[in-house]
Amino acid sequence: MKNIGIFYHPSFSRKSYMTIGNRLKDFPEALEDLLKKPNVRLFESPRASEELILKVHPSEMLRLVARDGFCSTAYESVGSVVAGMEALAKGEIDRAFCFIGAGGHHAGYRQFWGACCFNDVVIALTHVREISPWRRFAIVDTDAHHGDGTRQLIQDDPEVFHLCFCGADHRSADGTKIDVEVYRLGWQDNVNAQYVDKVRRHLPLIPPFKPDLLIWYYGFDTHADDYGSLGLTEEAYFEICDLMLAASTECGIPLQVVLGGGSLPHLAFNTIPEIIRRLAEG
């Protein structure tokens, strides 16, 4: 049985609109049954310090983020991902699900867009490298849009494997930065099966990289009903979750799930508890 940490802050259910709507309005109540499991624990996300954020972003980003209404939960969102990754690195938990109120993967060195403010994952791995022996990280991004901010920040880091399912095919010379084109699947038949198959065929690239941690950047904005629609349904996310669990098990490493894009409350309610259940039971 794996120990699961859920990282959440109350502000995420008041300000986690992510483009439209209050997508987390049903949380944390929707986790009530899961929290009865002896191996599942809820942690309140701390507020990240400016000192920590400035290890990745310049000081001008603090001022820019302060002026953006979409970024009202930016510090707690970074804190969620940092706290989850730190707990994994210290061996306190085996898997983590990190809620966020403001996204991260569109935040580059000194720019951001798309309701992303600070790059939560890159800040977290920068911190964990300082407090643990972990050096190598694999990030799999299945959000609807390219993780351009993350890519910019780790472009020249050979110890970060970045696999992004987005709008173009690309592979870096060293094979550690890969984009997989999935946009054209949005108007084809059997989109779930085709998308999941692309994920399945690329995950075998991860074990040879020998990462210390596997990070799944999970966005449900790819759903047929949401703003980044690729025509997917809920079942695709559960299949991808099982693939991520299998990959982390094969590598013998922890799995961290970071919530990405998506705006509709019913999709959050229908997918997040089930993904956490699979983390706890898989």
pLDDT in tens, 107-119: 999 999 988 999 9
Q: What pLDDT does 83 receive?
A: 99
Q: What pLDDT does 19 receive?
A: 61
Place of tokens 């173009």: 168
Q: What pLDDT does 28 receive?
A: 96
Given CATH 3.40.50.150, say whether it is the number of domain 4-281.
no
Spatial CB neighbours of 207, under 8 Å, sequence gap ≥ 6: 247, 250, 251
pLDDT in tens, 60-86: 999 999 999 889 999 999 999 999 999
Residue 100, both tokens: 């966020």
pLDDT in tens, 8-50: 999 999 866 666 668 999 999 999 999 999 999 999 999 999 9
Backbone angles phi, psi at 65, to 5 degrees: -65, -35
**Taking each helix axis from N to C terminus, what angle separates 265-281 and 234-251, rounded to the nearest 10 degrees?**
30
Spatial CB neighbours of 87, under 8 Å, sequence gap ≥ 6: 5, 43, 93, 96
Residue 150, both tokens: 């993350």
Percentage, residues of the chain above pLDDT 70: 98
**How far, in Å, CA of 27 to CA of 273, rounded?**
10
Domain ranges of the chain: 4-281
Residue 172, both tokens: 């870096």
